[in-house]
C-alpha cells in the first residue's frame, strides 16, 4: 500500500510514510471488510460512514505538515485511523465524532493500541472543541459547504487547516492558513467525502 499507492503518487514526507508503515490499517476496519483494508478505495465502517482511501489520508496528512509540537483537532473520528496517524506525528490529537457507536469503537481500539495522546468526544464537530482550543492544526474529514466559523476562531495564528470543501457530492481538497488573522487558501485537488452534518455543515 505505502509503495504502490502513496510513494508512487508523490507522497514524500518521511514522517507521513513512517506513520503509515507503523499503523496497522486492518485493525480499524470492521469484521468481514478487513480483506479490503489495504485496497485503493474507501471502505465502509458502519452508520453509512467510510474510512477514506489510504492515498487521501496520506495527502491530507502531508499537506497539514504536522510536527511533534502540534495540537491537532480532527472533525470526523470515524474508525480512528486518521487520528492514529496524526497521533504518531503530533503532541496531542482531539477528535470529534457525530455517531456514538463509531466514537466508542474508535476510542476502545486506540486505547488497546496504546495511544495516550488522543482524546475523542461525541458531538457536532462544526462547533469545534472550545475548551481545548486553540489548535495549531485542524483536519475536517467530511465534506463541508464552507469552513465552520468556530473552527476558524479555534485555529491558532500561523495554524493550518485542511478540508474537503464544496458541494455535497463533489468537493475540492483545500488547505487554509491563518496569517495575521486572515485566511489564505490553496486548492489541492477534487475529492468526494461523506457529508459533514451539523450546525455549520450540511443539514441532515
Ligand atoms: N477520519 C475517519 C477515519 O480515519 O476513519 C474517516 C472519517 S469519515 C470519511 C467522516 C466522519 O465524519 C464520519 O464518521 C461521520 O460520522 C463524521 N461526521 C459527520 N458529520 C460530523 C459532525 N458534524 N461532527 C463530527 N463528525 C461528523
Atom of ligand 1 nearest to the CA of 28: 5
> What is the tens place of the pLDDT at every residue in 59-104?
999 999 999 999 999 999 999 999 999 999 999 999 999 999 999 9
Quote the ligand 1 centre to 143 CA distance (angstroms).
9
Residues with CB under 6 A from ligand 1: 49-52, 75-76, 78-79, 81-82, 96-99, 102, 124-126, 141-142, 193-194, 196-198, 201
Alpha-carbon distances of 151 from 38, 137, 190, rounded to whole Å: 32, 10, 22
**Cell 503518487 belongs to residue:** 9
Atom of ligand 1 nearest to the CA of 45: 5
Is 44 one of the annotated active-site residues of the chain?
no
pLDDT for residue 196: 98
User: Which superfamily is assigned to 56-191 in CATH?
Assistant: Vaccinia Virus protein VP39 (3.40.50.150)
Atom 19 (ligand 1) nearest CA? 196
Domain ranges across the chain: 56-191
What gap in Å lies between CA 69 and CA 54, rounded to an integer?
A: 24
pLDDT for residue 157: 98
> What is the tens place of the pLDDT at every residue in 127-163?
999 999 999 999 999 999 999 999 999 999 999 999 9
Amino acid at each position: 500500500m505505502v509503495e504502490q499507492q502513496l510513494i508512487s503518487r508523490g507522497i514524500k514526507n518521511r514522517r507521513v510514510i513512517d506513520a503509515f508503515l507503523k499503523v496497522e490499517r486492518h485493525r480499524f476496519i470492521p469484521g468481514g471488510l478487513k480483506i479490503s483494508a489495504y485496497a485503493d478505495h474507501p471502505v465502509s465502517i458502519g452508520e453509512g460512514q467510510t474510512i477514506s482511501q489510504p492515498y487521501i489520508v496520506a495527502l491530507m496528512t502531508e499537506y497539514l505538515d504536522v510536527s511533534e509540537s502540534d495540537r491537532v483537532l480532527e472533525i470526523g473520528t470515524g474508525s480512528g485511523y486518521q487520528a492514529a496517524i496524526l497521533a504518531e506525528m503530533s503532541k496531542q490529537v482531539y477528535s470529534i465524532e457525530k455517531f456514538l457507536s463509531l466514537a466508542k469503537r474508535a476510542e476502545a481500539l486506540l486505547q488497546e493500541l496504546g495511544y495516550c495522546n488522543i482524546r475523542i468526544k461525541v458531538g457536532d464537530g462544526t462547533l469545534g472543541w472550545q475548551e481545548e482550543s486553540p489548535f495549531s492544526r485542524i483536519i475536517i474529514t467530511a465534506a463541508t459547504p464552507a469552513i465552520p466559523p468556530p473552527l476558524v476562531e479555534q485555529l491558532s495564528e500561523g495554524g493550518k487547516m485542511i478540508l474537503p470543501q464544496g458541494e455535497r457530492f463533489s468537493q475540492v481538497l483545500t488547505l487554509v492558513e491563518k496569517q495575521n488573522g486572515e485566511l489564505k487558501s490553496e486548492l489541492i485537488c477534487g475529492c468526494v467525502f461523506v457529508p459533514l452534518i451539523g450546525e455549520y455543515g450540511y443539514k441532515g
